[in-house]
Amino acid sequence: MPTKTLDTPIQYVKGVGPKLAKIFARLGVFSVEDLLYLVPREWEDRRNIKPIIQVRPAFFDVAKGEIMKIEDQPTRSRVHILKVYLNDRTATLQAVWFNQPFLKRLFKRGMKLIVSGKVEFSAYDHVMQISVRDFEIDTGDNLKIMPRYPMTEGLYPKKLRSVVKTVLDNYLSGIADERVRQALLALHQPEEMESIARARDFLAYEELFLFQLGLLLRRKEYKEELKGRKFDVSQEARAEFASLLPFRFTPAQERVLEDIYKDLQGGRPMNRLLQGDVGSGKTIVAVAAAWLAVRNGYQAAILAPTEILAQQHYNKLLDLFRDTKLKVDLLTATTSSDKKRAELLEADLIIGTHALIEEKVKYRDLALVVIDEQHRFGVHQRAQLISKGVTPHVLVMTATPIPRSLALTLYGDLDRSIIDELPPGRMPVKTYYVPRNKRSDAYEFIRLKVKEGRQVFFVCPLVEESSELDLKAAVEEAERLQKDIFPELKVGLLHGRLKSAEKERVMKNFLERKIDILVSTTVIEVGIDVANATVMVVEHAERFGLSQLHQLRGRIGRGAEQSYCFLVGEPKSEEARARMKAMIETGDGFKIAEADLRLRGPGEMLGVRQSGLPNFRVADIIRDEKILQAARVAALELIGKDPEDAHNRWESQRSKIENSKKKLESSALN
């Protein structure tokens, strides 16, 4: 018999078993401790349930009464409806269940029920009706505050509550901290509504505190303990680099470069986040740092999220360093030959995709690592690339101007620099919403612009990397545009499934203006830089998230010409309309990110599942922003006052986190 520790698998709790354990896994509950931290969504106050006569239509309400009548109503459609009339001497309420015919056997006339769910007025039966989400037989002693947990198929609220009770009774003592025990009790078995919020905030604080402690300890390690290579940042080297550029750095770029130079000569590894809106000129700043690494005799690497972007960086850098001795090389999944890999040892500056971090890839002396569009990678990749060098300097770049609370969570261990202005002469892109039946107006406009010598992006959604349907739509759109709409123009097609050589050829043709209109999936979303492209049409714009639309639109408006973006679509939901509106109203990445966060929440906003955002059990980094700030300050204080205590607390937490991560991974395999 397993002992009663917090890491007892949930399966072994009385009344659970292997079948239910699988369902618990869907809620992220593997152990007893996980269940203790499964925070209810809401709480129903059943102590003062109002009389039925006062029940009104509501998204959610609770009522109770005695069963007067049971109607089993098989309808002609396949839905089975069970209607139970409840009365409490003030009025009658009709409770309905869909497709649960077996419940009929449970109910008897005269039985007292508590029901909760959505309340509407049934015009059909002319009575107030509640669609039951949860019910219970009223035993007199369950008229208290009832927690409501996240729902999942196959696990009824009542069952979940009874397992929680078993776990509280048998395992809660395993939690060492008295305050945490109290808080958990206050959430699962609240005595009063008032203490719930306090308990939740306390647990969120504890969680965020430990998380920030981890980040800040790592940052301290970088700043005080790890050795970094000391670069010589001479005036001469800087001037030499500046002389290669066709433009001058903006003041914002200069400022950020100063931060970076300071890091590079300090003797500790740089660990810095560079934020800047799309088109603000991050690449060249990173390249300036790479130049210094090479001048100091080391290698530097730039990691890009897509092959197309890596190729573009590579071409631009080849060109930039044409007259210097610096050797640029490219490494992607398709440059796999061993010979090529051997050449890497010779190269000074290596551009590449994920291939850069493969185990086989060896570097001569990698001293600086740049990660472009970090939000496209997981934290994992950051760590892997870093492991390729002896604590190399790291510069992480992102265009997603995430709000502060998110930044503190994702990048709380990094120093931060921001490019907050665009290069001179940029005009804001004019953005319009175009209903699908008005598309031809946009086509006429495009014809005009192409005549003036401009180029055009047509973006088709490819929501899932593997969606054949979407891919087909893009291919067909390209054919349609070429044949039916723009027979006199040259239409090209670009998507992720093309062979690398083909992608490269298409991009090259577009750059050389051999293609007027480039139909593309979202592979162009990040990084692509073609200044002569000034018009973008986004098809099915309602299918894109806001941040993604902003990134896409960032592909135009990169030169001195006025640029135009047409969002074609049929936004059906309120939310989709809000997205279109935000895009039309502002070009400010920060405002867009905030709107996106409001509309979709952090996980979705960052786009990828592996965004590196930790799964907090209680905390919600948006809602708990204030708590987060306080936790960070407190963590900083503790590290200052008692670093040893800080270390110990974090260590004990870390092993726990790693354990549960392993469990998650192994369960994902099953």
Question: In b/e form, how buried is each residue of 495-530, taking b as 16+ CB within 10 angstroms?
Answer: bbebeeeebbebbeebbeeebbbbbbbbbbbbbbbb
Question: Which residues are within 8 A (CB) of 547 and not within 5 positions of it... i.e. 6 or more apart?
Answer: 400, 592, 593, 596, 605, 606, 607
Residue span binding ligand ADP (CB under 6 A) among the ranges 73-81, 131-139, 273-281, 402-410? 273-281
Question: Do 13 and 6 meet the contact criterion of CB atoms below 8 Å apart?
Answer: no
C-beta closer to Mg ion: residue 282 or 495: 282
Distance CA 569, CA 577 (A): 10
Residue 284 engages ligand ADP in binding (rule: CB under 6 A):
yes
Q: In what helix (H) or strand (E) does residue 537 lie, and over which residues does it extend?
A: strand 533-538
* Longest CA span, the chain: 93
Residue 102 engages ligand ADP in binding (rule: CB under 6 A):
no
Backbone torsion region of residue 89, taken as left when φ is above 0, otherwise alpha when ψ lies between -120 and 50, otherwise beta = left
Distance CA 215, CA 369 (A): 20
Backbone torsion region of residue 28, taken as left when φ is above 0, otherwise alpha when ψ lies between -120 and 50, otherwise beta = left
Instruction: Compute the least distance from the CB of residue 276 to ligand ADP, in Å.
Output: 5
Options 162, 247, 436, 472; binder of ligand ADP; rule CB under 6 A: 247
Residue 249 engages ligand ADP in binding (rule: CB under 6 A):
yes
The interface partner of residue 423, options being ligand ADP, Mg ion, none and the CB cut-off 5 to 8 Å by kind, is: ligand ADP
User: By C-alpha distance, which of 551, 556, 249, 255 is closest to 426?
Assistant: 556
Residue 253 engages ligand ADP in binding (rule: CB under 6 A):
yes
Backbone torsion region of residue 571, taken as left when φ is above 0, otherwise alpha when ψ lies between -120 and 50, otherwise beta = beta
Options 32, 183, 204, 278; binder of ligand ADP; rule CB under 6 A: 278
Options 66, 415, 420, 529; binder of ligand ADP; rule CB under 6 A: 529
Amino acid code (one letter) for 110: G
Question: Do 109 and 100 meet the contact criterion of CB atoms below 8 Å apart?
Answer: no
Distance CA 197, CA 187 (A): 9
Residue span binding ligand ADP (CB under 6 A) among the ranges 109-117, 277-285, 461-469, 638-646? 277-285
C-beta closer to ligand ADP: residue 284 or 463: 284
The interface partner of residue 161, options being ligand ADP, Mg ion, none and the CB cut-off 5 to 8 Å by kind, is: none
C-beta closer to Mg ion: residue 228 or 527: 527
What residues from 531 to 590 belong to the interface with ligand ADP (CB under 6 A)?
A: 558
Residue span binding ligand ADP (CB under 6 A) among the ranges 50-58, 153-161, 281-289, 622-630? 281-289
Tokens, residue 655: 């092993």
Instruction: Compute the least distance from the CB of residue 257 to ligand ADP, in Å.
Output: 11
Residue 283 engages ligand ADP in binding (rule: CB under 6 A):
yes
User: By C-alpha distance, which of 605, 603, 604, 577 is closest to 590?
Assistant: 605
Residue 276 engages Mg ion in binding (rule: CB under 5 A):
no
Which residue has the CB atom at the shortest distance from Mg ion?
Answer: 527
Options 129, 280, 381, 522; binder of ligand ADP; rule CB under 6 A: 280
The interface partner of residue 646, options being ligand ADP, Mg ion, none and the CB cut-off 5 to 8 Å by kind, is: none
C-beta closer to ligand ADP: residue 296 or 312: 312
What residues from 300 to 329 belong to the interface with ligand ADP (CB under 6 A)?
A: none
C-beta closer to ligand ADP: residue 248 or 626: 248
Which residue has the CB atom at the shortest distance from ligand ADP?
Answer: 281
C-beta closer to ligand ADP: residue 310 or 646: 310
The interface partner of residue 129, options being Mg ion, ligand ADP, none and the CB cut-off 5 to 8 Å by kind, is: none
User: By C-alpha distance, which of 198, 358, 200, 308 is closest to 555?
Assistant: 308
Distance CA 474, CA 472 (A): 5
Residue 244 engages ligand ADP in binding (rule: CB under 6 A):
no
- CA-only gyration radius of the chain, Å: 30
Instruction: Compute the least distance from the CB of residue 316 to ligand ADP, in Å.
Output: 8
Distance CA 515, CA 513 (A): 5
Tokens, residue 107: 């109910």
- Specify which residues 396 forms β-bridges with: 273, 371
Residue 279 engages ligand ADP in binding (rule: CB under 6 A):
yes
What residues from 521 to 540 belong to the interface with Mg ion (CB under 5 A)?
A: 527
| CA geometry: angle 417, 422, 425, nearest 5 deg | 160
Options 94, 129, 250, 520; binder of ligand ADP; rule CB under 6 A: 250
Instruction: Compute the least distance from the CB of residue 246 to ligand ADP, in Å.
Output: 8
C-beta closer to ligand ADP: residue 95 or 286: 286
Residue 418 engages ligand ADP in binding (rule: CB under 6 A):
no
- Specify which residues 567 forms β-bridges with: 433, 538
Instruction: Compute the least distance from the CB of residue 248 to ligand ADP, in Å.
Output: 6
Residue 276 engages ligand ADP in binding (rule: CB under 6 A):
yes
Contact residues toward ligand ADP (CB under 6 A) are 247, 249-250, 253, 276, 278-284, 399, 423, 529, 558
Contact residues toward Mg ion (CB under 5 A) are 527
